[in-house]
Structure 1
Amino acid sequence: MVILHVILLLGTIMLAARWGGIGVGFAGGVGLAIAVFIFGVPAGAPPVDVMLIILSTIIALSVMQQAGGMDYLVILTEKLLRNHPGYLNILAPSVTFILTVLSGTGYTAMSVMNVIQEVAKDNGIRPSQPLSSAVVASQLGITASPISAATAIMYGTVEVMGISFGDAMLVVLPTALFAMLVAAFIASRQGVRLADDPICQKIMQENKTALNKHTKRSIPRGAKSSVVIFLLGVMFVVSMLLFKSLIGHAINSRDLIIITMFIVSTIIIFTCKLDMKEIKNSPIFKSGAESLVVVLGIVWLSSTLIGAHIEEIKMGASEILRTYPVLLAAVFFCTSAMLFSQGATSALLMPIAASIGISADAILASFVAVSALYITNIYPTTAFAIATDDTGSFLSKRWNGSRIVNHPFFLPGCLSIICSVPFGFLLAKLVL
């Protein structure tokens, strides 16, 4: 039966890769129906905590976008990148990393993908280089964000082990930052410049791809205010967690994030005089709704099948992981690649890791590995980056993804984890 369950899970993932986007969630729903109705597997608990945090954050970001806040951030990003095009391969991932850390979702990276592509093309840089590192950086940034679902679940696990929020962030934030720098370096070495790539030159000539003329964008009224209000909300969450013992509150990180995001949304709406009916039409709201479907479908299936064999997993893995804690990173890595969600991976595995006696330093050091959403190129941010490029830099035989993993996101992502996990263990020893 275990073999059948594995075949079902892998088959569903292959179907999800074929359908892509919101279809990933539908594929998960089909697999879940087969598991429950045909194989008789008891349905596991749906990833409610993850979905609630994602939903509340998406709502706040959608409100900020409706107020023009995302446009304002794009303008700042464009000014930074255009003024320093020679550093694009490090600035692009740095920008998406920071946006993700502050917003708690990698979907904010989509707002600057077109700018990154334009600056790269205008300066003869292969767009796949900064775009691929920017995508990987946005996924790594989830593990360093104080308001992401993954971090909230991780901190809830290590908090009971006596680890403060400050100590946890002193490990996971530098580890994720180090991983981002590794990914940026690797991505910048993949492929040749546009002028030296015959495939890119041919596609650009056929499509009559022209250099982009820089047009001045106007900053919407209330845009700056919406960004300031949102950032104050993030700072409030961080402060409440950082000084939890001093303040003396008992609010868990999940509830703190959800409540704060709703208050932030409300303040922005009335401060910037927004029409509440229009918020649902924002691009971030629509992308967020898609991500919820993806999480609900594929994650619920995975947690159901894995949950059916949880005792076997504990018995087989507990001794090995206690002896070789670095292998926990490999477990995080492989699971997140199947679940397409850092938050869902954390929700599924963090309690298991704690229950079999894995130490807090191993959990913190390995946490960065839950960001392996780049193994295939079907995740929304990776697919969007590919769709953004009109030069064909993703289409060469070496990088076109025809063999699943031969795409520009794979090596930067994998090597960033391989290099950063040992760094995380070293850091955890020093901090804890």
Structure 2
Amino acid sequence: MIWLHLLVVLGAILLGARLGGIAIGYAGGLGVLALAVLGVTPGDMPLDVVSIIMAVIAAIAAMQVAGGMDWLVDVAARLLRRNPRHLTFLAPVVTFLMTVMAGTGHTAFSTLPVIAEVAKENDLRPARPLSIAVVASQIAITASPISAAVLFFSGLLEESGTGVDYLGLLAVAIPSTFLACLATAAVLTVVDRARGRTRLSDDPEYQRRLAAGTVVPPRPAGQAREVRPGARLSVAVFGVGLLAVMAYATLISEKAGVITDPVMGRDQAIIAIMLSVAAVIVLTCRVEPAQVLTASTFRSGTSACLCVLGVAWLGLTFFAAHEDAIQHAAGDVLAGQPWLLAVALVLASALMYSQASTARALMPTALAMGVAAPAAVAAFPAVSALFVLPTYPTLLAAVEMDDTGTTRIGKYVFDHPFLAPGMIAITLSVAFGFAIGAVVL
């Protein structure tokens, strides 16, 4: 029956991927229902992950309405325009840092237009900085102190008695993913220069669109968007909340041992702190609460929650029903070659479209199979292979925002400019993770 159940799971995920958007979550629920009809008891719902995402999104949306996101984007735009020759390196740095701070890769939506404009202004092909920036925004989820994926995985490591805690995970994940993104930019810059594919004016598709008059002129470099008076304050409040989450997680960790009997667990603390951040922003920055519900980050975050709920529940249902068989079949292989966990995570995340969903579904089983904690931590960035299929929202946004035609999806499913940067970045992240983990953990 395991193969029939696997077909149901894959069929539901592929249906969701074909429909796109929030339908991925719908299809996950449909898959759970189909498995239940076949006699499979539904697994635990990932309400812990969903709750964390909702709380973080609530704070980010309040900051966006207060003008904080616009201010951050203007800061990023000034940085990029002052250093256009290093755009391929700075673009992923900007999206990486914004994702680490916000705990969601959807912040890239605001910076992708700036990256495309700066590239056009300086005769650079937008495809390369855009593709690496999108990949960096996805991988940075595994380095964010407030992302649902990090909080779940660190909690799992602590509960399993592995000796690796929240701080240990971040000590490996942050440098390994950041260095991997920079190294990916360096590798692809060398490749592009060797192939003579750096200048936008040399691209035939751009020349065709330019002749047809379909390329929109870039915004004047000195033109900045209007920022609300409370924008900087909202960013400051959110930053204090981020520091509070990290500080509390540090104080209650077993290694620090400052608070040995905490009143709140880490998940409860981040939810309470993020909701409090949203409340303070609404009070001090004169934000109308009704506007938060219409903010783009709130809408995309709600969609992400439903996708996680459906797809992660489907994955948990399948793995819970066949945990013994999976452990028996793959346990010895993973224990002997733990790097194969990264391969499994890439394949799973490419279909599940969520770092948190992939971690929630596979990591408990991996640890139960005997994968050592340092190896699991090193493989953790592989849950970010959301770029494999060209249907993820930020990926599609990059394609739409590049009217030069250099960032385009080909006739075949996998011939798009995000696959190579993504696979290089994940491979390097895992490799760096093993090296750094050997020293830190």
TM-score normalised to structure 2 length:
0.92
Return the letter of the residue paired with 1:248: T
What does residue 172 of structure 1 align with?
173
Q: Cα 1:187–1:260, aligned 2, differ >3 Å: closer, same or farther?
A: farther
User: Residue in 2 aligned with 1:64?
Assistant: 63
Q: In the alignment, which of 188, 199, 212 is matched to residue 193 of structure 1?
A: 199
Q: Percent identity?
A: 40
Deviation by residue 1:409-428 (Cα, 9 ceiling, x = unmatched): 11111112222212211211
Q: Does 1:221 align with 2:224?
A: no
Matches of 1:314 and 1:13 in 2, distance apart? 23
Select 2:211's aligned residue among 205, 219, 222.
205
* 1:386 alignment counterpart: 399
Q: Would the aligned equivalents of 2:172 and 2:377 in 1 still touch at CA under 8 Å?
A: yes
The 8 Å contact of residues 117 and 219 in structure 2, kept in 1 or not, is answered as no
The match for 2:422 among 405, 408, 413 is 413
- SS of 2:411's partner is coil
Q: Residue 117 of structure 1 corresponds to which residue in structure 2? A: 116
Query: Residues 237 and 281 of structure 2 are in contact (CA less than 8 Å); yes or no, is this contact kept in structure 1?
Result: yes
After TM superposition, give the deviation of residue 207 of structure 1 in Å. Answer: 4.1
1:23-43 Cα distance to aligned partner (Å, 9 max, x none) = 322333333333333x33222
Query: Residues of 2 paired with 1:277 and 1:164: CA distance?
Result: 38
Verify: 1:264 aligned to 2:265, yes or no: no
Compared CA separation, residues 200 and 303, structure 1 to 2 (3 A): farther
Counterpart code for 1:313:
I
Alignment of 1:211-360 (within 5 A): 211-214=217-220, 215-244=223-252, 245-250=257-262, 251-360=264-373
In structure 2, C-alpha distance between the alignment counterparts of 1:427 and 1:194, rounded to whole Å = 38
Secondary structure at 1:281's aligned position in 2? Answer: coil
Q: CA deviation at 1:77?
A: 0.7
The alignment's C-alpha RMSD in Å is 1.8
What are the ranges of 5 or more consecutive residues in structure 2 without an aligned counterpart? Answer: none
CA separation in 2, counterparts of 1:20 and 1:113? 21
For structure 1, the 5+ residue unaligned runs are none
What is the Cα deviation at residue 186 of structure 1?
4.6
| Greater shift in the superposed pair: 166-175 or 140-149 | 166-175
CA distance in 1, matches of 2:312, 2:361: 9
Q: Which residue of 1 aligns with 2:4?
A: 4
Query: CA contact under 8 A between 1:269 and 1:276: conserved in structure 2?
Result: yes
Structure 2 residue aligned with 1:91:
90
**Cα offset, 1:12, TM superposition:** 2.8
Whole-angstrom distance in 2 between the partners of 1:110 and 1:128? 15
Deviations 1:280-325 (A, max 9, x none): 0111111111112222222322322233212111111222211112
Q: With structure 1 as the length reference, what TM-score do the two structures score?
A: 0.94
**118-127 or 18-27, which deviates more:** 18-27
Do 1:182 and 1:412's aligned partners in 2 also have CA atoms closer than 8 Å? Answer: no
When structure 1 is superposed on structure 2, of 61-70 and 24-33 the one drifting more is 24-33
Corresponding residue of 1:426: 435
Matched letter for residue 315 of structure 1: H
Q: Does 1:79 align with 2:78?
A: yes
